[in-house]
Structure 1
């Protein structure tokens, strides 16, 4: 396969309101690396695609309101958080049909750029987003995984909660959910009591997990073979994302066995990047909760002074899910 030009642009695939992508673009601009930002959610209103396939492979261009992107010149793709595929008009079946054609047409082209380095490839992101696959792969790679049950059986859920108490409920996916007042709502990680588990569990799959007796949380960011671990202290509840104002963060070293297992995990999913969440047990062991293959990383600010090595208290991170 022909390699893309080393002088070609980096394609950043994301929606408009993405502070993490903004940080990457600013750094690429500082290094005088050409960048094109593109959101598939703008198709077909303000994004046009002309792609040809034949003996020469994939050629063509994507046209935004301000840029023309040669599909053969893209050196690398940073696939962040693109908007959903939509239909220009219509409703019901017509709208769904157009959106699916866009997903498999435009999406298929953007995932097939010749000689291009992806961080991460969108299909690898998709494969690695399923929590059952994450936990099964983590255990196979040597990471410690808390006892976990995925079920729609309330009797089995109650038995698990009694056997492993204290037990947490975790959503299997951060689905969009809007309340009656049009506010976007989030389903957080929460403690559950066996007596609170009722027949509503039958309606869908639920994930229950034994709560780790932890002294701190850990976010480990892995990219390009480098590991950056941060210890998170001060969370008064089980989900540290709800308590940014109370947190302090400290860079820490990753134990060699965890580092080896994390690298094996990334290889298993063919990922270049991953944001891992761990609980640090009081016995010093790391327990893996999940890995977001497309997680936010720009939430840990630079220290105020170059000689500062102690815990750092950042401003609240933007966005709902990291």
Structure 2
């Protein structure tokens, strides 16, 4: 396949999930360019866009090749590094360079004419919002646990006292958090009413009625192709100790499958990783949808199938 139908993959160099799809595209002799714009554009790569009356042109140059950006067929927005600016700059100079790269290079890469996006970066950003997810899930017919997002400690404590099965706390955004200089994750955890202090007033906190679940489920959706796994874990948050969880294939009930497809359409997504808590009675409660969730950790057969479907969409581009 020539550069007239190249695939652009935006991700960091350590992304093993992207590697699975890139190997398939290489086997199919699909022309692929891999770029991590937040870092590569500060280490030798260059990006140019020219706009004239009724004409738009662009060039992307990396260490190994040059590419006409108006001829990019598909863009896979996987896991590019954050736009943080060149390491050689400090303070406001670095922040200035980072913001210019985000809105300049990021804007160019988000407006390639005729390209098929999986997913478009602006749609990804909108779909990452927890309030947007909950509102959309309700509209699409999912069961949604009672939830409050508030910076009012009284409202939070009142909500907790009215949930007979207890409540859990979740961050509304996966913010970077460090303890003694080491990165830490903020996991979903049980919360008792007395634990909710006035510190809640510092920022919005998300509390949710705890689902008496039998197991968790992940449904990975690529268009109307759904891949489900049942997750059995000793932890409330199965991500905490993934070495202790077991995954087996499972099919989402028809109403859930219809709601998944409707949700993607509502938020203009091609891809979504949906998490559910499933009760003993068979009720699937929507927890969240990560528009760019990982999937390479799933059983080999399912991960390979997801990789093939993604490769198909990227190869076909706008004709999908």
Q: How does the TM-score come out when normalised to structure 2?
A: 0.89
Query: How far has the Cα of 1:120 moved from its partner?
Result: 0.3
Question: Residues 43, 199 of structure 1: CA spacing in aligned structure 2 closer, same or farther, 3 A cutoff?
Answer: same
Structure 1 Cα separation of the partners of residues 272 and 185 of structure 2 = 22
Asked if structure 2 preserves the Cα contact closer than 8 Å seen for 1:58 and 1:113, the reply is: no
3-state SS of paired residue (2:123): helix
Residues 106-158 of structure 1: CA deviation (Å, up to 9, x unaligned): 11110111111000000000010000110011001100100000011111111
- Answer 1 or 2: which has greater helix percent: 2
Offset of 1:243 from its aligned partner?
Answer: 2.7
1:115 equivalenced with 2:149 (yes/no): no
| Greater relative contact order, per chain length (Cα 8 Å cut-off, separation 6+) | 2
Distance 1:224 1:70 in 2: 28
Q: Name the structure 1 match of 2:316.
A: none
Over aligned residue pairs, what C-alpha RMSD do you find? 1.6
Corresponding position of 2:152 = 153
- Tell which deviates more after alignment, 189-198 or 57-66: 57-66
Correspondence for 1:259 among 248, 257, 260: 257
| 2:9–2:75 Cα contact (<8 Å) kept | yes
Residue 141 in 1 paired to residue 140 in 2?
yes
**Alpha carbons 2:223, 2:264 under 8 Å: kept:** no
User: Match of 2:6?
Assistant: 9
What's the CA shift for 1:288? Answer: 0.2
How far 1:210 moved relative to its partner? 0.5
| 1:20 CA drift (Å) | 0.7
Q: Is the 8 A contact 1:15 1:81 kept in 2?
A: yes
Q: Distance in 2 between matches of 1:276 and 1:103?
A: 28
CA contact (8 A) 1:150 1:206 kept: yes
Partner residue of 1:312? none
**What is the aligned partner in structure 1 of residue 26 from structure 2?**
29
The aligned residue for residue 236 of structure 2 is 238
2:306 aligned residue: none
Q: Please give the per-residue CA displacement for 1:180-203, whole angstroms capped at 9, x wherever unaligned.
A: 1x3210000000010111111111
Task: Give CA-to-partner distance per residue, 1:247-288, whole Å, 9 cap, x none.
Answer: 221111121111111111111100000000000011101000
| Superimposed CA distance per residue, residues 29-66 of structure 1 (whole angstroms, 9 cap, x where no aligned partner) | 12211111001112233221121112343312111122
In structure 1, what is the equivalent of residue 101 of structure 2? 102
| Alpha-carbon distance in 2 for matches of 1:58, 1:229 | 42
What is the rounded CA distance, in whole Å, between the counterparts of 1:87 and 1:171 in structure 2? 27
Asked if the contact 2:84–2:94 (Cα under 8 Å) also holds between the matched residues in 1, the reply is: yes
Q: Residue 174 of structure 2 corresponds to which residue in structure 1? A: 174
C-alpha displacement of 1:91: 2.3
Is the Cα–Cα contact under 8 Å of residues 221 and 273 in structure 2 kept in the other structure?
A: yes
In structure 1, stretches of 5+ residues that fail to align are 304-322
- CA separation in 2, counterparts of 1:280 and 1:261? 15
Give yes or no for contact 1:5–1:73 (8 Å, CA) kept in 2: no
Which of these residues, 255, 274, 277, is aligned with residue 275 of structure 2? 277
Q: Pairwise mapping of residues 1-322 of structure 1 onto structure 2 (< 5 A)?
A: 8-41=5-38, 42-88=40-86, 89-164=88-163, 165-180=165-180, 182-233=181-232, 235-302=233-300
Equivalent residue, structure 1, for 2:309: none
Listed as ranges, the gaps of 5+ residues in structure 2 are: 302-320
Provide the rounded CA distance (Å) in 2 between the counterparts of 1:212 and 1:96.
42
SS of residue in 1 equivalent to 2:48: strand
The SS at the match of 1:10 is strand
Counterparts of 1:54 and 1:263, CA distance in 2: 39
The list of structure 1 runs, each at least 4 consecutive aligned residues, that deviate by more than 3 angstroms after superposition, is 4-7
